[in-house]
Chains A and B, each alone.
Chain A
Amino acid sequence: MFELFQVSRKFGVFPALEDITFNIMAGERVAVVGPSGAGKSTLIRLLNGTLFSTTGEVRVLGQRLDQLSPQALRQVQSRVGTVYQQFHLVDNLRVVHNLNAGHLNRWSLTKSLVSLIRPMDVQGAFNALEQVGIPEKLYERTDRLSGGQQQRVAIARVLIQDPEAILADEPISNLDPELSKEVIDILVDLSVCSGKTLFCSLHAIEFALSNFGRIIGLRRGRILFDSAAENVTDEMIKSVYRG
């Protein structure tokens, strides 16, 4: 699904990621952990094609993203869904439209436009919302929802997009512990039920250990460890977070 070989990314002279190499198979659930500034978000952006590596190869679904035409890149991107830390929804749209944005790479322009006036595929949007537990919010304005509810809308949008892999960039860092657990449960469950690959960056190690099969430890742009969850020791965790 995702193959990275000796990937580095610099912002100016600052190296955000250095010499990253790993493979993620279809259906795997991987958490990448590390302190703020470790390069987790940069890594996610390399995987969804909103950023290209400075050196090295990034392959998604077998294709090198930096060598694709814009058209082909969009094809690949439509098969990878992303959930963000700050939800990235359009505030003043109704929930149903934010959900239908997940259809955009399938719908024609006319259909997209008509749907903004008279929502289409309401049933699909409702089903997706039902799966994340807030079906009654279908026609609510998005900025009227709480943070936890907005994150569920963002996940439901990915459900509608129906990608083969889901990237989640610190999906719970703006939520309280209770909600965090629910959101992680939804993501993991989604991956288990549908066999979708899940690649999730997390600040908190506890959620990673209990929910993901494989953990990658990132610190200052380098991989410190990449191992099965049961083999992760306190020593390894300390090495990632030490001051």
Chain B
Amino acid sequence: MNHQITAIIKKDIRSITSNKRMFITLLIVPLVLTIFVPSVFILVFHFMPENNTELLELLELLPLSIQDGSTQRSIIKLILNYIMPIFFLLIPIMAASVMAAASFVGEKEKRTLETLLYCPLSLKQIFRSKVMASFFLSMFVSAVSFAAMLVVTEAEAYMTTNSFVLPDLKWLLIMLLVSPAISLIAITLIVRVSARAQSVEDAEQSAVFLILPILLLIVGQFTGVFLISSWILLAIGVLCGLLAALLLKKCMDNFKYETLLK
């Protein structure tokens, strides 16, 4: 990576972190999702009467791998390894969208893009550095959110069951494959609309469409249509990865001076 690309990446990340309003937007959703949601689930189940037959009947319907000795441990395992992975996918989408919108449309809105275009960098270099800045920040927010969720969930698991409940292989797939792939899809979607979007908010709204498939996954799992597995996540990850690569290529081809300055 050359110095020019590094300079743009640093500048883009700094512009987000120094903008309080945007930085708070970027932090609130991950904090609600990774700390508040699992805590509510765990505490609700903890304070439920232990001889709740309806709940026990429901747990018996789940695969044997989830059933783990005590009801409390099974529930925490279900929350950590089946419910949270899907909720977690919202984080890279949101972080990548906020960052990409600020990085592409924000520069256009504040009339700083033209100055950048007059510098001796190829459009490919500018495009690459902006995609990388959005991607790095999205991955950073995802990693911090994962760490926060793990600390809170494990602490709650220990307090309620006197033991830890470890994350399984699905988290590895999410962190290394699915999250990076959907971050890139979110970034390319924002870049695609950046030419016609008049404001950062306009661009951010386009990422809403990415949330719909995630909502379907959440609804599908809660209604018992399917249960997320490592294989499903691997398939989603590979598909999203291929789609991201294709979209990035197409986006780069449409990245032209004349379209950008419209």
Please determine whether chains A and B interact with each other in the same assembly: no
Which B residues are closer than 8 A to A by beta carbons? none
